[in-house]
């Protein structure tokens, strides 16, 4: 009877004018209850979210969107002011959808705790309720959930708190922020399905940085390079300083750029150019025709400072998205339409045939002087590492440093009308399926002219990187980096059998297709090793057979003889290798050509006309 009376009394209080949820109970987040000494495990995180969802079910919904490698349920939280939780209905309402991803590197959980506080202010205290006027917030509280539950005080040596934190990789020791293009992890595939269901208008990936020490506690970047549509890039450049100014007014110090020093021991040499390939979440956003923000809180700042800085950054972003909702929706619509035109018969149109689709961007040497709030530092030769080391004080140092802002396209391709993938390359097709790319199968054989790449000179990375030995060379110039070699386009007439896969470029996800199937693209299937088998020689010649062949070829071809002798003179390793010397002649023979070594099996179609598909 007493418990029933207390429940009735509480309900009566909540019904009285002026009594709010915030006044009736303790809505502090788990991190706030310990003054940010700790961050909650997943059970406590979900319990807090469920309390809020139960208190405001007409504005908050929690949904599962997939499972981790260890079988945990991945969850999203949807915050909508009017109880509309269907993506199509939200898009029809003219509101923008913001998707925030937290804890992809599960030791970097600041965004999770920031989103819990933001959720409270949106629907419980309602101090930030206006941020939902023209926007819907969808956030992933913990993306790398298996890594998040691998808690330890020793997971992040560079990071100042909390007392325990999650681990960088998932349960299969994969860095999920290297997996977006190749999409091998179950978490990545769940994310892609989630993304295409919601098709958000803006994406945020919350991180904590490693690297230099400086005064800023919040740094962030919105891609606006040559691989972003010009109108969208201009908007991104406009809003970035606005957002930084709004964060600065709250007492935090924000810098609207990713800080990667040109020289890790000398900040005065400036900040380098950052290219965002699609192995990263925000690089993937470029292929999805959506703006994305990479957030990097500073590792050495106190956990409370980092979480509250992340909170203020999300509030500032939501304010801009509310103001620019109609503009952003139109930018995204235009970018989707432009992407779907990449396959409109470019080889038959002189203007389009000259289109060079950017696959990679690099600095062109141009810099811009930028004020930078750093710290005093000293440099000295280390007796331990044997090289220069930098030591920072926490005395402010105001300086102007060069930032590499000029850029150029370093790798490009002319888009075809579409691609042909032979049906036996199932693991390559599987990735495109994971990305929800539209594909068709040929209903009958087709004969015609196509383009094909012939590739050579590949050198694979000797050390593993994300469970593979890629050709792109890994990160940070580490030992064992590979070398891409060269792929040359040839034109030939082929017969495509029934059952082959046609991948047209007249679709919204055309940029995903190009980046996966153009061999030289930074995160292509070739670079990640999905086509390694085509570089393997399967037939060989015995020495005594090749000796006879070599003598016959030398006698018949003076030019080949001159090339062989020049190679002996210029290449000591070749000269010392009996196998290499004999294989030289095999490689110049029709027997070697029959191996099809380096022949890329994916074909480029100049037109889709006449191809019948199922």
Structural domain boundaries, residue 465: 411-536+598-605
Percent of the chain predicted with pLDDT > 70: 93
- Band of residue 19 on the pLDDT scale cut at 50, 70, 90: very low
**Residue 394 in domain:** no
160: Cα within 13 Å, side-chain hemisphere: 13
Q: Residue 125 belongs to a domain with what CATH number? A: 3.40.630.10
**Residue 402 in domain:** no
Mean pLDDT of 52-78: 98
Mean pLDDT of 302-327: 98
Tell me: do 326 and 465 sit in the same domain.
no
Residues with Cβ within 8 Å of residue 284, at least 6 apart in sequence = 180, 181, 278, 292
Residue 302, by phi and psi: left (phi above 0), alpha (psi -120 to 50) or beta?
A: beta
Residues in the chain: 614
Q: Which burial class, exposed, middle or buried, applies to 319 when counting CB atoms under 10 A from its CB (0-12, 13-18, 19+)? A: middle
Residue 356 has what pLDDT? 83
**Residue 556 in domain:** yes
What total number of domains does the chain contain?
3
**Residue 227 in domain:** yes
**Residue 379 in domain:** no
Tell me: do 527 and 559 sit in the same domain.
no
- The DSSP-derived string for 30-85 is HHHHTTTS----HHHHHHHHHHHHHH-TTTEEEEEEEE-TT-PEEEEEEE-TTS--
Tell me: do 158 and 290 sit in the same domain.
yes
Give the pLDDT confidence of 521-576 residue by residue, as tens digits.
Answer: 999 999 999 999 999 999 989 999 999 999 999 999 999 999 999 999 999 999 99
Last residue of a domain, one of 285, 320, 339: 339
Tell me: do 515 and 565 sit in the same domain.
no
Give the pLDDT confidence of 269-308 residue by residue, as tens digits.
Answer: 999 999 999 999 999 999 999 999 999 999 999 999 999 9
Is omega for the bond preceding 162 within 30 degrees of 0, making it cis? yes
Look at residue 236 and tell me whether its pLDDT is greater than 70: yes
Handedness of CA 340, 345, 348, 354 (dihedral sign): positive
Residues with Cβ within 8 Å of residue 326, at least 6 apart in sequence = 94
Residue 322 has what pLDDT? 98
Residue 579 has what pLDDT? 94
- Band of residue 473 on the pLDDT scale cut at 50, 70, 90: low
Q: Where are the beta strands (DSSP E) in 442-522?
A: 446-456, 486-496, 501-504
Instruction: Determine the longest span between alpha carbons in the chain, in angstroms.
Output: 109
Give the whole-angstrom CA distance, residue 369 versus residue 270. Answer: 9
Give the whole-angstrom CA distance, residue 179 versus residue 183. Answer: 5
CA-based nearest residue to 320, from 220, 192, 214: 220
Give the whole-angstrom CA distance, residue 418 versus residue 547. Answer: 45
Give the pLDDT confidence of 129-146 residue by residue, as tens digits.
Answer: 999 999 999 999 999 999
Tell me: do 80 and 193 sit in the same domain.
yes
Alpha-carbon distances, residue 41 vs 117, 146, 336 (angstroms): 16, 11, 39
Look at residue 458 and tell me whether its pLDDT is greater than 70: yes
Give the whole-angstrom CA distance, residue 229 versus residue 224. Answer: 8
CA-based nearest residue to 98, from 187, 176, 199, 234: 199
CA-based nearest residue to 532, from 540, 542, 524: 524
Last residue of a domain, one of 339, 360, 377: 339
Mean pLDDT of 490-516: 97
Last residue of a domain, one of 308, 339, 370: 339
Tell me: do 565 and 458 sit in the same domain.
no
Tell me: do 128 and 247 sit in the same domain.
yes
Residue 344 has what pLDDT? 77
Tell me: do 517 and 486 sit in the same domain.
yes
Tell me: do 203 and 159 sit in the same domain.
yes
- Band of residue 23 on the pLDDT scale cut at 50, 70, 90: low
For residues 309 and 217, the answer to whether their CB atoms sit within 8 Å is yes
Specify the pairing of strand 96-101 against strand 73-79.
Answer: unpaired
**Torsion from C-alpha of 66, 71, 72, 77, nearest 10 degrees:** 0
Give the pLDDT confidence of 333-368 residue by residue, as tens digits.
Answer: 999 999 999 987 454 444 444 568 999 999 999 999
Residue 38 has what pLDDT? 98
Tell me: do 454 and 555 sit in the same domain.
no
Tell me: do 479 and 553 sit in the same domain.
no
Tell me: do 196 and 327 sit in the same domain.
yes
Give the whole-angstrom CA distance, residue 273 versus residue 480. Answer: 24
């Amino acid at each position: 009877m007493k418990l029933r009376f207390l429940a009735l009394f509480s309900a009566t209080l909540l019904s009285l004018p002026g009594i709010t949820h915030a006044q009736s109970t303790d809505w502090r987040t788990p991190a706030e209850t310990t003054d940010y000494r700790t961050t909650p495990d997943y059970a406590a995180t979900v319990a807090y979210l469920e309390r809020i969802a139960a208190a405001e079910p007409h504005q908050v919904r929690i949904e599962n969107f997939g499972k981790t490698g260890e079988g945990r349920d991945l969850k999203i939280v949807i915050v909508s002011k009017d109880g509309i939780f269907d993506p199509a209905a939200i898009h029809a309402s003219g509101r923008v959808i913001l998707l925030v991803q937290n804890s992809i590197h599960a030791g970097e959980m600041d965004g999770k705790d920031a989103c819990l506080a933001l959720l409270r202010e949106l629907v419980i205290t309602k101090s930030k309720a206006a941020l939902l006027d023209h926007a819907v917030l969808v956030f992933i509280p913990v993306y790398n959930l298996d890594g998040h539950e691998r808690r330890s005080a020793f997971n992040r040596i560079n990071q100042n708190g909390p007392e325990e934190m999650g681990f960088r990789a998932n349960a299969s020791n994969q860095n999920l922020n290297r997996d977006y293009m190749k999409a091998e992890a179950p978490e990545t595939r769940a994310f892609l399905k989630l993304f295409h269901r919601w098709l958000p208008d803006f994406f945020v990936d919350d991180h904590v940085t490693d690297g230099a020490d400086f005064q800023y506690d919040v740094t962030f970047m919105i891609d606006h390079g040559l691989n972003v549509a010009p109108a969208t890039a201009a908007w991104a450049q406009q809003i970035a300083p606005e957002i930084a100014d709004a964060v600065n007014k709250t007492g935090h110090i924000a810098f609207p750029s990713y800080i990667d020093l040109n020289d890790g021991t000398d900040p005065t040499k400036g900040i380098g150019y950052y290219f965002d390939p699609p192995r990263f979440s925000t690089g993937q956003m470029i292929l999805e025709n959506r703006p994305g923000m990479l957030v990097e809180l500073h590792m050495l700042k106190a956990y409370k400072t980092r979480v509250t800085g992340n909170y203020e950054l999300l509030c500032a972003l939501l304010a801009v998205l509310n103001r620019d909702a109609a503009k952003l929706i139109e930018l995204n619509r235009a970018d989707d339409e432009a992407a779907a035109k990449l396959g409109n018969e470019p080889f038959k149109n002189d203007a389009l045939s000259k289109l060079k689709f950017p696959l990679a961007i690099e600095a062109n040497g141009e810099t811009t002087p930028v004020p930078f709030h750093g710290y005093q530092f000293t440099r000295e030769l280390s007796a331990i590492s044997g090289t220069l080391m930098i030591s920072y004080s926490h005395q402010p140092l105001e300086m102007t440093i060069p930032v590499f802002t000029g850029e150029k396209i370093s790798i490009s391709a002319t888009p075809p009308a579409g691609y042909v993938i032979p049906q036996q390359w199932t693991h390559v097709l599987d990735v495109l399926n994971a990305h929800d790319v539209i594909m068709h199968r040929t209903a009958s054989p087709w004969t015609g002219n196509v383009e094909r790449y012939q590739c050579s000179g590949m050198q694979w990375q000797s050390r593993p990187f994300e469970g593979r030995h890629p050709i792109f060379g890994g990160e940070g110039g580490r030992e064992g980096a590979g070398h891409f070699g060269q792929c040359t386009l040839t034109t030939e007439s082929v017969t495509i059998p029934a059952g082959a896969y046609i991948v047209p470029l007249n679709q919204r996800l055309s940029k995903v297709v190009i980046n996966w199937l153009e061999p030289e693209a930074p995160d292509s299937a070739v670079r990640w090793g999905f086509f390694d088998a085509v570089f393997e020689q399967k037939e060989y010649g015995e020495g005594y057979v090749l000796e006879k062949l070599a003598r016959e070829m030398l006698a018949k071809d003076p030019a080949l003889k001159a090339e062989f002798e020049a190679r002996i003179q210029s290449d000591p390793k070749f000269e010392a290798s009996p196998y290499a010397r004999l294989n030289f002649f095999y490689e110049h023979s029709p027997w070697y050509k029959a191996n099809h070594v380096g022949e890329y099996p994916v074909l480029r179609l100049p037109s889709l006309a006449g191809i019948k598909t199922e």
